Amino acid sequence: MNRIEHIIAGQKTKGSSGKTQAVYNPATGEQTGEVVMGGEAEINLAVEAAKAAFSTWSITSPARRARMMIALHGVMNARRDEIAQTISAEHGKTHDDGLGEVTRALEVVEFAAGIPSHLQGDFSRDVGPGIDTCAERQPLGVVAGITPFNFPSMVPLWMIPMAIACGNTFVLKPSERDPSSANLILDLLREAGIPDGVVNVVHGGKPTVDAVLDHKDIQAVSFVGSTPIAEYVYTRGCAAGKRVQALGGAKNHMIIMPDADLDLAADALMGAGFGSAGERCMAISVAVPVGEETADRLVEKLTPRVAALKIGPSSDEMAEMGPVITAEARDRINKCIDAGEREGAKVLVDGRNLKLQGYENGFWVGGTLLDGVTKDMSVYQNEIFGPVLSVLRAKEYHEAVDLINAHEYGNGTAIFTRDGDAARDFTNRIQVGMVGVNVPIPVPVAYHSFGGWKRSIFGAHGIYGPEAVHFYTRLKTVTTRWPTGIRSGAQFTFPSMG
C-alpha cells in the first residue's frame, strides 16, 4: 500500500505523530494508500529547513530563479500525463480534466519565469539636491500555502512558482484527501534544479493548519477552500501578524438573455456545471434564464444533455465526468438534492443513487438538473460543490442582476447574449470579481490575477499574476545622498525635496 510521507529539506519523513489517514480511489471506493499526519513538530522542522534555505535562495539572482522556472516548465510538460494520472487516481476527475489542470498550472510557471521583469523597481534621480530615490520589492521570508482537494496540482502551483520566484521559501500543507500530487510536485521541483528546503511539504489536518497559522517565522499564508475555513484562516493568521490571502467559496450564476444562442449556452452550462463533477469554485451552479420562454427553451435543451452525461472512471476515455471525492461528499450532495426537492424544486434529472457496473462502491453522483428553484431555497443559498445545476427563472434582466448582487458570494459569473449594450452594463454593474461574456468559466490567464469579491475572498490580493508579486514581496524605498562638500546645517522641519 502506498505511504505518502512529509518531505522536509528534500527528505521523506514519517514525522513523530504516529497518525495516518486513509487515501481512496473515488471511482472504486478502495483504499489505495495512507498519508502520515503531521502537526506542530513537523511544521517546526519544515520552517527551520525553509529558513536555512532562504539565506541562500533569497540572494539567488532573479535571472537564475527564472531559468529554474523555465526548467520546471520543461519537466512538467514532459511528465504531464504522469501528473494527470496522479491527480485522477486520488481525486477521480477524468484524465482530460487532469491534463487541463496541468495546463493551467504551466501557465503560472510561464508567468513566474518572467520574474526579473516583475521585480523591476523604480528609480528617480535628483529628487532633491544630489538626492536619488529608488523603490524595490524584496521577499518576505518563509511563506506557506494551504491547498484544497479539488485541484491538487494546479492550486499549489498557483502559489509555489510565484512565491519562490520572488525569493521566498515555502511550506505546503496540501489536502489530506489526495496528497500524492503534492509529493510529485516536490519531485518536479528537484528535477528542475530547485534546491532542497526551498519548498517543503507537511501533510495533516486542522492541527497542521493551526501550526502554520501560529508559527512566528511564517510571514504569509495563502489559502484556497471553503468560506468558513477561509474566514478562520484569515482571522487567525492576521491575529498572528501574518499577511493572509484566503480564497473561499462561490455560488456562480450564468444569466441567459432571450437573444442568446441557446445551444451555445446549454453546452457551456454542461461543461461549467458538470466538469470535474462540479467540484470547482468557478463551476456554474445556477442558470438564470431571463423570461419564461427563454427558460422553457433552455430547460428543453439542457434536460437530454444532462441525462446523457457519460459518467465513469478516469480510465474510461469516453467519460465526461468522474466520481466525487469521498463517500461523505456523495452523501452530503444527495442530502442537498433531497432538501431542494422538499422545498419545491423540480428534479428534472436525478443523479442520486447512481451505481456503475463494476464500480458499485465508488463515490458516484450523477448529473442533476433542478428547475423552479427560488432564492429562499437551501439548494440556492448554499454552495453544493457537486454536479447539481439549478435553474432559477428571472422575469427580466434587472431582476437577474439584482439576484447575483444580493448573494453573499462574488467569485465568478457570466452572461450569454448577443447584445453588446447588455453585456457592457452587466460587466459594469455586477458585484463579482471574475466576469465572463459568453465565457462560462472566466478564470483569468496567468498574467492577470484570480480573485473574487465579497465572502469569496478574505485579504487584499488575488492569487497568481501581478497580484501575487505584491503579495509575496514587500516594498522598500531607499533615498540616498552622497557628500558634495555642500553644508547647509541641521534641518529641524519635516524634510522637503522641493
Integer Cα distance of 123 and 478 in angstroms? 9
- Tell me if 74 is assigned to some domain: yes
The arithmetic mean of pLDDT across residues 419-426, rounded, is 97
- Tell me if 442 is assigned to some domain: no
Report percent pLDDT > 90 for the chain. 95
Integer Cα distance of 6 and 15 in angstroms? 7
Residue type, 169: T
Which one, of 160, 140, 159, lies nearest residue 217 by Cα?
A: 140
Could you list the residue range(s) of the whole structural domain that residue 399 is in? 252-437
CA distances from 120 to 114, 166, 412 (A): 11, 11, 32
The arithmetic mean of pLDDT across residues 427-446, rounded, is 97
Q: What's residue 216's pLDDT?
A: 98
Which one, of 101, 113, 261, lies nearest residue 192 by Cα?
A: 113
187 and 316 belong to one structural domain: no
C-alpha cell at 432: 463579482
pLDDT digits (tens, 9 = 90+) for 29-75: 999 999 999 999 999 999 999 999 999 999 999 999 999 999 999 99
299 and 150 belong to one structural domain: no
94 and 57 belong to one structural domain: yes
Beta strands in 218-361 (DSSP E): 218-224, 243-247, 252-256, 284-289, 346-349
240 and 262 belong to one structural domain: no
The full length of the chain comes to: 498
Domain end among 387, 406, 437: 437
60 and 203 belong to one structural domain: yes
- Tell me if 487 is assigned to some domain: no
Mark 118-137 as b/e (b = at least 16 C-beta within 10 Å): bbeeeeeeeeeeeeebeeeb
211 and 293 belong to one structural domain: no
336 and 354 belong to one structural domain: yes
Q: Is 433 helix (H, G, I), strand (E, B) or coil?
A: coil
Say whether pLDDT at 489 is over 90: no
Q: Is 459 helix (H, G, I), strand (E, B) or coil?
A: coil
Instruction: Give, as one character, the DSSP assignment of residue 445.
Output: P
Integer Cα distance of 234 and 148 in angstroms? 16
Q: What's residue 491's pLDDT?
A: 73
Q: What's residue 443's pLDDT?
A: 95
pLDDT digits (tens, 9 = 90+) for 251-291: 999 999 999 999 999 999 999 999 999 999 999 999 999 99
Residue tagged active-site, from 166, 238, 281, 336: 281
- Tell me if 450 is assigned to some domain: no
The arithmetic mean of pLDDT across residues 109-131, rounded, is 95
- Residue 56: other Cβ atoms inside 10 A: 12
410 close to 452: Cβ distance less than 8 angstroms: yes
Helix ranges (H only) for 285-346 are: 292-307, 327-342
In Å, how far from its chain's centre is CA 321? 20
195 and 278 belong to one structural domain: no
C-alpha cell at 420: 453588446
- Tell me if 496 is assigned to some domain: no
The number of domains in the chain is 2
Mean per-residue pLDDT over the chain, rounded: 96
Helix ranges (H only) for 6-61 are: 40-57
Biggest CA-to-CA distance, the chain: 90
Tell me whether residue 336 is one of the annotated catalytic residues.
Answer: no
296 and 429 belong to one structural domain: yes
- Tell me if 223 is assigned to some domain: yes
- Tell me if 492 is assigned to some domain: no
pLDDT digits (tens, 9 = 90+) for 216-245: 999 999 999 999 999 999 999 999 999 999
Sort strands 243-247 and 218-224 into parallel, antiparallel or unpaired. Answer: parallel
356 and 315 belong to one structural domain: yes
Q: Which CATH number belongs to the domain containing residue 273 in this structure?
A: 3.40.309.10
Q: Model confidence at 498, in pLDDT bands (50, 70, 90)?
A: low
Q: What's residue 131's pLDDT?
A: 92
105 and 136 belong to one structural domain: yes
Say whether pLDDT at 486 is over 70: no
Q: What's residue 483's pLDDT?
A: 80
Q: What's residue 129's pLDDT?
A: 87
- Tell me if 490 is assigned to some domain: no
235 and 290 belong to one structural domain: no
The β-bridge partners of 256 are 289, 416
Say whether pLDDT at 341 is over 80: yes
Integer Cα distance of 412 and 426 in angstroms? 13
Q: Which CATH number belongs to the domain containing residue 199 in this structure?
A: 3.40.605.10
373 close to 390: Cβ distance less than 8 angstroms: yes
Say whether pLDDT at 484 is over 80: no
Say whether pLDDT at 445 is over 70: yes
pLDDT digits (tens, 9 = 90+) for 148-183: 999 999 999 999 999 999 999 999 999 999 999 999
Say whether pLDDT at 493 is over 90: no
Cβ contacts of 475 within 8 Å, gap of 6 or more: 135, 136, 137
Q: What's residue 497's pLDDT?
A: 61
The sign one gets for the Cα dihedral 58, 60, 65, 66 is positive
The helix/strand count (H/E) of the chain reads as: 16, 23
54 close to 220: Cβ distance less than 8 angstroms: no
Say whether pLDDT at 487 is over 70: no
